[in-house]
Amino acid sequence: MCGIFGIMGHPEAANLAYLGLYALQHRGQESAGIVSCEGTAFHEARHMGQVAEVFPGEVLRRLRGDAAIGHVRYSTSGSSELGNAQPFRIRYHAGEIAIAHNGNLTNAGTIRKQLETAGSIFQTSSDTEVILHLVARCRLANVEEALVDALRKVEGAYSIVVIARDRVIAARDPHGFRPLCIGRLDGSVCFASETCAFDLIGAEFVRDVEPGEIVVAERGGVRSVHPFPPAPAHRCIFEFVYFSRPDSRLFGQSVSLARKRMGAELAMEQPAEADIVVPVPDSGMNAALGFSEKSGIPLEFGLIRNHYVGRTFIEPQQSIRHFGVKIKLNPARDLIAGKRVVLVDDSIVRGTTSRKIVTMVREAGAREIHVRISCPPTIAPCFYGVDTPLRAELIAANNTVDEIRRFIGADSLGYLSLEGLRRAVGSSQGFCAACYSNDYPVPVEGTDVAQMKLFEKPRR
């Protein structure tokens, strides 16, 4: 779970990277970083924390130059330390480069071991650093050729932007797991994980970087190469369900509309006799609207989200029931009391949060509670870039739907089917849905899959 941004040829490169990262903040709140290039001088700022806090004006002013790349991170691989905050920047025999990476390499461990035996010193625990050492070991002086050489050796999911003295390079792995888009602003070229970054800076969306494509933006223009053999597409379907912002266009479609269609499909597959449809804010909003429209059951904003949630919150010693949920959500009792409620959310991971929400809504006076989830049960961890809890912690990996229903205390529980989800995103092919199907399109080295963590959804 990361967001990346790159821009070449704009006098305010770092400022625009900053804004681009700000628009991509939902993809990672743990750390943020920008590397800019001014002639041959690189400037860098990386911090733990969110974009709007960690780049005060004086820091941004230091990031001079007409090229920049940036990264927001929610740890996928590597631990939570500043040292793992990207972009990573190195000096090697052919000069200086920096890289920002979204995704997860599946053979990083093997390569790292080989490189260390040969005398390489790794500075981080991140899989991304493997790419840099492969580039440094390559005798080719041309950074683009060395990068292609390095990427030929790695497997798995990567959307990356790389900055060198005179160019910004964007690359997407041959399967296209993670998104990456090309934009244009005042004659400069920019790259971003999602189109919402272009909206904020006023850039025009041009097209997606294609799976397996490498796009090189230089001061003189843009080039594209396809150095890898063709491969089947495995775009991440979870980006539609939860991860991407609703105002983004993703893999050629509107995220908002896809979610509304999920809600409509859900209303057909899993109807409910009820008085009102209540979304779990904010990710369940569009699906709830789709459900309401298709079912004819009126929508109500029966759960109110607190907008001032801080990073660390002191819980009183004397336990308050459902405190962790209450600090974020509060029911509007007068809307809910005495009603039969359809509660629409986009996932149940461990089940504990859903259980608290259901209890809270029932205590607010709901007569019946029918939980509807706008995707299939999450049964398998992701190895392609979404941060995940262990499979053992995953309620749907180990329980039937009815067991889950009883655990969360709902009167009924219904999930959207994988076919319904595929209908909603308009295609039965070209997507990775391993987290719903346990069917991994790219093998993962030495993984005891049962022990891996499954995605832990940060509420936004």
Cα–Cα distance, 412 to 460 (Å, whole number): 26
Cβ atoms within 10 Å, residue 299? 17
Q: Which of 39, 56, 426, 443 binds a copy of itself (CB under 8 A)?
A: 56
297 vs 397, beta carbon nearer a copy of itself: 297
Q: Does 352 bind a copy of itself (CB under 8 A)?
A: no
Q: Does 196 bind a copy of itself (CB under 8 A)?
A: yes
Q: Does 51 bind a copy of itself (CB under 8 A)?
A: yes
Cα–Cα distance, 420 to 344 (Å, whole number): 16
Task: Write down the least CB distance from residue 139 to a copy of itself, Å.
Answer: 8
| Residue 70 buriedness (CB in 10 A; 0-12 / 13-18 / 19+) | buried
Catalytic residue positions?
A: 2
The contacts of residue 12 (CB under 8 Å, 6+ apart) are none
Are the beta carbons of 167 and 216 closer than 8 angstroms?
A: yes
Cα–Cα distance, 199 to 203 (Å, whole number): 6
- Show the binding pattern over residues 268-307: x = contacts a copy of itself (CB under 8 A), - = does not: --------------x--xx--x---x----xxxx--x-xx
Cα–Cα distance, 331 to 351 (Å, whole number): 19
Task: Write down the least CB distance from residue 4 to a copy of itself, Å.
Answer: 17
Q: Which among 245, 241, 275 is positioned nearest to 261, based on CA atoms? A: 241
Task: Write down the least CB distance from residue 102 to a copy of itself, Å.
Answer: 18
| Residue numbers 441-460 binding a copy of itself by CB under 8 A | 460
The stretch near a copy of itself (CB under 8 A) out of 225-233, 329-337, 350-358, 429-437 is 329-337
Give the interface size with a copy of itself as a residue count (CB under 8 A).
Answer: 83
Q: Does 427 bind a copy of itself (CB under 8 A)?
A: no
Length, in residues, of the chain: 460
Q: Tell me the two tokens of residue 176.
A: 């296209």
Torsion of CA 349, 350, 351, 354, to 10 degrees: -60
Residues 221, 180, 280, CA angle at the centre, nearest 5°?
Answer: 150
Residues 81, 83, 88, CA angle at the centre, nearest 5°?
Answer: 135
The stretch near a copy of itself (CB under 8 A) out of 86-94, 160-168, 207-215, 400-408 is 86-94
The stretch near a copy of itself (CB under 8 A) out of 132-140, 165-173, 220-228, 235-243 is 132-140
| Residue numbers 216-245 binding a copy of itself by CB under 8 A | 245
- Show the binding pattern over residues 90-129: x = contacts a copy of itself (CB under 8 A), - = does not: xxxx----------------------xxxxxxxx------
Cα–Cα distance, 192 to 222 (Å, whole number): 16
Q: Does 252 bind a copy of itself (CB under 8 A)?
A: no
The stretch near a copy of itself (CB under 8 A) out of 25-33, 349-357, 415-423, 433-441 is 25-33
- Show the binding pattern over residues 58-77: x = contacts a copy of itself (CB under 8 A), - = does not: --x-----------------
| Residue numbers 28-47 binding a copy of itself by CB under 8 A | 29
Cα–Cα distance, 35 to 163 (Å, whole number): 8
Q: Tell me the two tokens of residue 253.
A: 């479609």
